[in-house]
Amino acid sequence: MAEQGSPLEQLVAAVRASARYRHVSAGFIARIGAQELAKRPNLKAAIKATKDRLHQVGGAYRGTRPDYQASLERLRGAFRGNLSDLRPLCLEIMRTHASTRERLPVLAEFYGSIFDALPPVRSVLDVGCGLNPLALPWMPLAPGAAYYACDIYEDLVAFVGEFLGLVGVSGGAWVCDVLGEVPRQKVDVALVLKLIPCLEQIDRAAGRRLLDGLNADHLVVSFPAQSLCGARKGMPATYEARFRELMEGRDWRVRRFAFSSELAFLVSK
Ligand SMILES: C[S@@+](CC[C@H](N)C(=O)[O-])C[C@H]1O[C@@H](n2cnc3c(N)ncnc32)[C@H](O)[C@@H]1O
């Protein structure tokens, strides 16, 4: 049977047919796919190049996809009304996301020290959230605080939304592509954790656009201290230099927090 649709439609369909990328936002695949098709006319080669880029900006971090339905059932069973009831299970689930997992050894220290430097936090926006919303039991938020989260993965975002509902935290989770549109929720704190290097692989101007556009009083912007395979390769210094460039010309207060696995900056706009 002949293939239907434009080359870009065929590319999106082919990428989404693979188990690894079935749940990635079609709009995001189309953005990357259009760039790759513009570089070469060959559809098969463009499909491969699109998958490679998707791997770099998301797939590499997913690790083993958890059984979200089973995880939700276990969370429901363990919840007795306090977020702290869920700590052991949240740790287990967060371990399945390669990037979120790197923070686990310093989780309490990470949120304790950064949020300690802030007035009471009543709302959070977690951009490119991965499984980080499951760190809510370690976040010292004000009672009744709202939590908003977005990512390019439809299944992950649906799970995070169910989790927020289960623990009675208002807000919500949705599919986003912040290369195309910066979320405009007004919040006390926006978390931009280890996201900028992913965005800037696709569009060098995307990090600055995001930091400028977020409607938050404070931003927590972080960078990995090592690559996923564990090599350090001078990464913290390179990322710090890039972060300082992004801050040029901005009259914002910056505080620096260095952890073993992550370099974070608290930016007060
Ligand atoms: C390195 S991981 C960090 C995950 C999480 N912020 C953390 O630190 O635990 C980057 C995340 O950004 C998401 N992402 C990549 N490109 C994105 C985009 N254009 N818009 C929204 N999310 C994106 C990926 O799916 C992935 O979950």
3-state secondary structure of 151: strand
229 pLDDT band (50/70/90 cuts)? low
Would you say 97 and 160 are in contact if contact means Cβ atoms under 8 Å apart?
no
Tell which one of 94, 96, 152 to mutate to probe ligand 1, the residue whose CB is within 8 A of the most ligand atoms.
152
Mean pLDDT of 179-194: 96
Cα distance between residue 159 and residue 68, in whole Å: 6
> What's the residue count for the chain?
269
Judged on CB neighbours under 10 Å (0-12, 13-18, 19+), 71 is: buried
Query: Does residue 126 carry a pLDDT above 80?
Result: yes
Residue with the larger pLDDT of the pair 39 and 2: 39
Tell which one of 198, 209, 223 to mutate to probe ligand 1, the residue whose CB is within 8 A of the most ligand atoms.
198
Residue with tokens 């760039």: 35
What separation in Å is there between the alpha carbon of 167 and the centre of ligand 1? 23
Q: Is the CB of 57 under 6 A from ligand 1?
A: yes
pLDDT at 62: 78
Q: By C-alpha distance, which of 268, 136, 151, 263 is closest to 198?
A: 151
Residue with tokens 């990090």: 207
Q: Is the CB of 177 under 6 A from ligand 1?
A: yes
Give the C-alpha distances (Å, rounded to integers) separating 135 from 48, 78, 183, 200: 34, 16, 21, 26
pLDDT at 230: 57
Of 60-74, 79-93, 147-161, the least confident: 60-74
Judged on CB neighbours under 10 Å (0-12, 13-18, 19+), 226 is: middle
**What's the mean pLDDT when you consider all of the chain?**
94
94 pLDDT band (50/70/90 cuts)? very high
DSSP 58: I
Q: Is the CB of 54 under 6 A from ligand 1?
A: no
- The residue whose CA is least distant from atom 12 of ligand 1 is 128
Exposure string over 184-223, b if 16+ CB within 10 A, otherwise e: ebebbbbbbbbbbbbbbebeeebbbebbeebebbbbbbbb
pLDDT at 24: 95
1 pLDDT band (50/70/90 cuts)? very low
Q: What percent of the chain has pLDDT over 70?
A: 96
Residue with tokens 């009543």: 122
Query: Does residue 234 carry a pLDDT above 80?
Result: no
